[in-house]
A and B are shown apart, each in its own frame.
Chain A
Amino acid sequence: MVFFYDDGSEEVQVKKPIPLTLISTLLILIVTLLVAETLTVKVQSTSLRSSPKFYASSVQALRAGDKVEKISTQDGWIQVRTAGGVVGWVHSSAVTVPKFDLMATNQGLKTQASAGEIALAGKGFNKQVEENYRAKHGELSFVWVEKMLQIKISAAQVEEFLKKGRLGEFGGAQ
């Protein structure tokens, strides 16, 4: 079996590498592995799925702040590996992309503005601010807001709905 691997660093082919070149190449490799491939879950909870579909079976539950390692991408989905070594798929909208994605292009340094979200997690308009706001406005009810958040439609229910309605991959989608 042949594996093709492109780490984007053609520099390694330099003849008789001098120590400094070697160090820089190693550093960029380490940085790539440690930074560029690590994604952080930014939604309250989601599932690591067995295939790149919302109604694929769940492999493992993921929570905000969980770190996963990127393996590959496909149509808005990212194949990842958890710290525990479990492999599955997450939708790209559920994770924060890293600050410096060196692997994303071959054109050099590439930045991702959303990286600031990691630094800001839990800050600003948070639970504490909401509690303070609610203390000032005791008449404002959150009962239905909480009930609304409790409405859970499983991916299996949506799949059934799509199937019966001949929607998505089960019918009309173009």
Chain B
Amino acid sequence: MFRQILRSQWLALRLPVALLAVLGFALPLLTVTYGGALENAPSATVAQWLFASQKIGILIPGLALLVGLLLGIGTWAPDHAGKHVYALSLPVPRPMYVLLRFAAGATLVAVPVLALGIGSTVAVLAVKLPSGIHAYPAQLTLRFAMACLVCFAIFFAISISTRRAALAVLGLLGGVLLADLVLAALSISGGASVTESVIYLLTNWPGPLAILMGRWALFDV
């Protein structure tokens, strides 16, 4: 059954998957468009190149977010279009069906991840690095895979959630903002912000979005 679901999902999502794969392959290669023979290059050139590498690195978690968004929502698109009749007609319990959908979506996520891995390897092979600068193709690819998985799971869950769950999430976000407004109005915040604290908790280890933060440069010190 997994193969059938994967096949149907591939047919529905092949265009975004191909597009994401091209982006994943191209991003690491952008770094080497600034030059490759750096072994004896002046420090200023190496510095500019390193800064460019770090700037391009910032785009990679953005790509992970895009992968999660397109594939996470796209996974349920055929079910939403068919009013879930196909799913209900299958002789499998709902949790199993969700698991199969998730597994099929995660398999498709592997395509842009693999493309980024290949792109990184090609980029690393194309440059001669000066001493003190290192390449991190394996770490970058693995981190990208984890970031894609988290983003995919988030959008996968949002896409199939009930209206009540969506309202609860929106209510929680609204409550956080309201708490800040109330604290500010009563002048009892003392410089603290609930929104800032929540963002801090979400984006710092072990927060769910911590994987998207940190450094993402393929080449670094």
Asked whether A and B interact, the reply is: no
Q: Which residues of B contact A (CB under 8 A)?
A: none
